[in-house]
Amino acid sequence: MSGADIMLGSAVNHMIGKKILLIDDDTDFLTLTSQIFKNAGAQVITSLEGNEGISKALTHQPDLIVLDIMMPGKDGFQICQTIRQFSNTPLIMLSALDRDQLMLQGLEAGADDFLSKPFNPDILLARAKAVLRRSEQNNGKRDSMSYDDGRLKVDVEKHRVLIKDKQVKLTPVEFRLLAYLVSNPGKVLSFEQILDNVWGSDYQGNDDYVHVYISHLRNKIEQDTKSPRYILTVHGVGYIFEKQMSAFFN
């Protein structure tokens, strides 16, 4: 048995019993993709329209959402942003258009991953498995690690981040990234280390993921994003989290 067969088998096993919501206005694509997930043992729900997809995300509470960008009415970015207002369900965005720019927009809208059409069914299943695994690990994690400098508070066990005692809403990926940074204060973390620990080894080389989410975190926790104090850039290498003295905020 080849390594690819072993990877596919693992992905298939991870799909058994999972509820997958597919949102795409292409009926042929929905039929094909539905069959891919059904063959892997998943329960599939489909929607041809954005508002209906949002409604089904609320009603069915799927384990994973696969969403196309090019939709009639609300586009995939708008749909994703709406879903993120009430759900942290893992979400993969799809597009047949220019990958790089749309990938950044998709991640900024709150997607967990991005795939370009057309794609290999094995790759889709492997990526689906990866985002589901990360979500489950995140939900099951009970780490006592915490950080508190009087302004920023990070409680990993309670999955909570506060700025001046007001809760900050983070997506699962944003929280995993912040928790990883906070747990390694004062250490230079390379792009490769961050990708491996936050996204997984399959994502090596996708430095844009790191840059986009670091920007998100800075917007949510820094006093001045142009002169950050918590998350510092080590140009060409990675990022470092610097602890702050409580007196700085008094």
pLDDT for 151 equals: 92
Q: What is the mean pLDDT of the chain?
A: 85
pTM above 0.75, yes or no: no
Q: Is 20 left (phi over 0), alpha (psi -120 to 50) or beta?
A: beta
92: its two tokens: 């993969």
The better pLDDT of the pair 224, 133 is held by 224
What burial class does residue 205 get, using C-beta atoms within 10 Å of its C-beta: 0-12 exposed, 13-18 middle, 19+ buried? Answer: exposed
Q: What is the pLDDT of residue 8?
A: 46
Predicted pLDDT of residue 160: 87
Q: Which superfamily does CATH assign the domain made up of 3-139 to? A: Response regulator (3.40.50.2300)
What are the pLDDT digits (tens) for 174-207?
A: 888 999 999 899 999 999 999 988 887 777 788 8
Domain map of the chain by residue range? 3-139, 143-249
Record the tokens describing residue 19, joined without a space. 């509820």
> CA dist 162 to 62, 183, 215, 221, Å?
28, 16, 18, 9
| Residue 143 reports pLDDT greater than 80 | no
Strand extents, DSSP E, the chain: 19-23, 43-47, 64-68, 91-95, 113-116, 146-148, 152-155, 160-163, 166-167, 188-190, 231-234, 238-241
Q: Does 186 or 99 have the greater pLDDT score?
A: 186
Strands 146-148 and 152-155 turn out to be antiparallel
Alpha carbon of residue 199 to chain centroid? 8
3, pLDDT greater than 60:
no
Contact between 114 and 107 (Cβ < 8 Å)? yes
pLDDT tens-digit map of 50-98: 999 999 999 999 999 999 999 888 899 999 989 988 888 899 999 887 6
Give the three-state DSSP class for 232. Answer: strand
Given a cut of 90, whether residue 15 has pLDDT beyond it is: no
Domain 143-249 sits in CATH 1.10.3720.10: no
| Alpha-carbon span 172 to 146, nearest angstrom | 17
How far apart CA 103 and CA 107 sit, in angstroms, is 6
Q: What's the confidence (pLDDT) of residue 208?
A: 86
- How far is it, in rounded angstroms, from Cα 168 to Cα 147? 14
- 33 band by pLDDT with thresholds 50, 70 and 90: very high
* Residue 102 reports pLDDT greater than 50: yes
